[in-house]
Amino acid sequence: MTLFDYPPALPHNHIGYWGPVTATIDWCEENYILSPYIAEVVNSFTNFIFLLLGAHHLYSTIKNKFGYLYIFISIGFAAVGLGSFLFHMTLLYEYQLMDELPMVYVTALPFGYIFAWNSSKKLKWIWGLGTFITTLLFTYIYIFIYRNPEFHQFFYALLNFGLIYKTFNVANEKVTDLKAKKQIYKILILAFSLFAFGFLIWNLDFVFCPNLIFIRRNHLGLPFGILTEGHGWWHIFTGFGIYYFILYNQLLCTWMHDMQDQYELVWFGIFAEVRLKKDKKIN
């Protein structure tokens, strides 16, 4: 099955082009094996899925007049991919933050918005300011006090589960058409399933890392060994999971603003957009 052998393993203390590893986490892909200039080639270039899908959402958001919130979300989606590319390319701590912090910020935006929605002006300010201060506090703690990636993962998961919980409740309240409700829930289930499956592969990559490296080097070789880079698959499945989750939120947003009759979900292959049928903007 092997077409090409992997290059010889580098010593554990090897220092690559970008200098010593300063990130608080390293991955199963062997560093600088495939390129002297890119620490983790597969983990780096699989981030292009975030850039491409983020660009598509940005174009669709502007074309279909979804407003500034989704413009920021789309840009943040792409920014996660750029930060993650730089992180895996260099394994430097400053680029690790460019990967991890945008993940939090792009989730905090819709989190604050959905919890403030349909509230009094005072509560909207409380939710908006509270989300901002909490996120700022997390950033300070994570950078200066407790640099544990599990802390980041916990806070990020908390934001996501809170967002899913609230949007689910809003959908139950606002979406009165049974067919539309099933459609919205199907997209939510699809998004969550892709994210969860990617997370499973990521964890298997951690647990079985030595075994995976052995299989790549002794049985698969190149290019087939690339298919066993679990963190790269995490990027791909997570990218599509976020893509569909944004679609889910956009569909729900049309119902939240009583504009569901002016929008439709249009599929083209595995991609889709919530398309405007009439020229009216969601504020």
Residues paired with residue 16 on neighbouring β-strands, in sequence order: 19
- Report whether 276 contacts 61 (CB < 8 A): no
264 a known binding residue? no
Q: HEC profile for 170-227?
A: HHHHHCCCHHHHHHHHHHHHHHHHHHHHHHHHHHHHHHCHHHHHHHHHHHHCECHHHH
At residue 3 the predicted structure's pLDDT band, cuts being 50, 70 and 90, is confident
177 a known binding residue? no
Q: How does pLDDT run across 78-137, given as a tens digit for each residue?
A: 999 999 999 999 999 999 999 999 999 999 999 999 999 988 889 999 999 999 999 999
94 a known binding residue? no
> Is residue 71 scored above 80 in pLDDT?
yes
- Report whether 50 contacts 26 (CB < 8 A): no
- What residues does each domain of the chain span? 41-276
CB atoms within 10 A of CB 275: 13
Q: What pTM, to 2 d.p., does this model score? A: 0.93
The rounded distance, in Å, linking the Cα atoms of 30 and 212 is 11
SS3 category, 47: coil
At position 1, the amino acid (one-letter code) is: M
Q: How does pLDDT run across 231-258, given as a tens digit for each residue?
A: 999 999 999 999 999 999 999 999 999 9
56 a known binding residue? no
SS3 category, 70: helix
160 a known binding residue? no
Structure tokens at 206: 């951690």
18 a known binding residue? no
By DSSP bridging, strand 271-276 and strand 263-268 are: antiparallel
Of the options 3.30.420, 1.20.1070, 1.10.700, 1.10.10, the CATH number for the domain spanning 41-276? 1.20.1070
> Is residue 282 scored above 70 in pLDDT?
no
118 a known binding residue? no
Q: How does pLDDT run across 141-195, given as a tens digit for each residue?
A: 999 999 999 999 999 999 999 999 999 999 999 999 999 999 999 999 999 999 9
Label residues 205-217 b or e (16+ Cβ within 10 Å = b).
Answer: beeebeebbeebb
pLDDT for 280 equals 54
The mean per-residue pLDDT over the stretch 13-31 comes to 94
27 a known binding residue? yes
Structure tokens at 48: 């292009």
